[in-house]
Amino acid sequence: MDNTKMHKSLGIDLKAHDTLIRALPELFKECFLNKEQDLKSLSYFYSVVADIHGTRVKELIEHKNKGPVIGSFCIYVPEEIILAIGGQLVGLCAGADFWVPYGEQIVPKNLCPLIKAGIGAKFSKTCPYFQVIDLLIGENTCDGKKKAWEILSDMVEMYIMDMPNKKSNSGLKLWQEEVKSLCNFLEKKFSKPISFDSLLKAVQKVNAKRSALNRLYETRKNSPTPISGIDTLLVTQIGFYDDTERYTKMVETLAKECEEKALSNSKSNDKKRILVTGSPMVVPNWKVHHVIETSGADVVVEENCTGTRYFKDNVSIENSLAKEDLLKNISDRYIRNINCACFSPNTDREEEILKICKDYKVDGIVYASLSFCTTYMIEAEKIRKVAKKNNIPMITVESDYSFSDLGQLRTRIEAFIENL
Ligand code: BJ8
From the CA of 142, give the closest atom in ligand 1.
14
CA–centroid distance, 141 to ligand 1, in Å, is: 7
Calpha distance 17→34 (Å, rounded): 26
Tell me how far the alpha carbon of residue 400 lies from the centroid of ligand 1, in angstroms: 14
Domain boundaries defined on the chain: 4-418
Ligand 1 pocket check for 373: Cβ under 6 Å: yes
Strand blocks (E) in 194-291: 272-278
Mutate to test the pocket of ligand 1, among 288, 340, 344 (most ligand atoms within 8 A of CB): 340
| DSSP code for 313 | S
Helix 244-264 with 42-50: angle, nearest 10 deg: 140
pLDDT of residue 267: 77
Expressed in angstroms and rounded, the spacing between residue 73 Cα and the centre of ligand 1 is 8
Neighbouring residues of 305: CB distance < 8 A, sequence distance ≥ 6? 74, 75, 280, 338, 340
> For residues 151 and 130, is the Cβ–Cβ distance under 8 A?
no
Give the global pTM.
Answer: 0.97
State which of 160, 371, 373, 400 you would mutate to test the pocket of ligand 1, scoring each by most atoms of that ligand within 8 A of its C-beta.
Answer: 373
Instruction: Compute the distance from residue 264 Cα to the ligand 1 centre, in Å.
Output: 39
Residue with CA closest to ligand 1 atom 1 = 340
75 CB within 6 A, ligand 1: yes
Q: Is 216 in the pocket of ligand 1 (CB under 6 A)?
A: no
Instruction: Write the CA distances from 13 to 4, 126, 151, 277, 363, integer angstroms.
Output: 10, 6, 20, 35, 46
Cβ atoms of residues 248 and 208 within 8 Å: yes
**276 DSSP β-pair partners:** 302, 366
220: left (phi over 0), alpha (psi -120 to 50) or beta: alpha
- Pick from 273, 259, 233: nearest CA to 357: 273
CA 271 / ligand 1 centre spacing (Å) = 31
Task: Pick the atom of ligand 1 nearest to 305's CA.
Answer: 13
Q: What distance in angstroms lies between residue 142's CA and the mean position of ligand 1's atoms?
A: 7
State the distance from the centre of ligand 1 to the C-alpha of 130, rounded, in angstroms. Answer: 18
| Rounded mean pLDDT for each run of 10 residues along the chain, 420 residues in total | 93 96 90 92 96 96 97 98 98 92 97 97 97 98 96 97 96 97 98 97 98 98 96 98 98 98 86 98 96 97 98 93 96 95 97 98 98 98 98 98 95 98
Report pLDDT for 268: 76
ipTM: 0.95
Q: How do strand 135-139 and strand 272-278 relate by DSSP bridges? A: unpaired
Q: How far is CA 212 from CA 44, 84, 216, in A?
A: 15, 20, 6
> Does the C-beta of 145 come closer than 6 Å to ligand 1?
yes
> Could you tell me the strand order of the sheet in which 88-91 lies?
88-91, 69-72, 135-139, 158-161
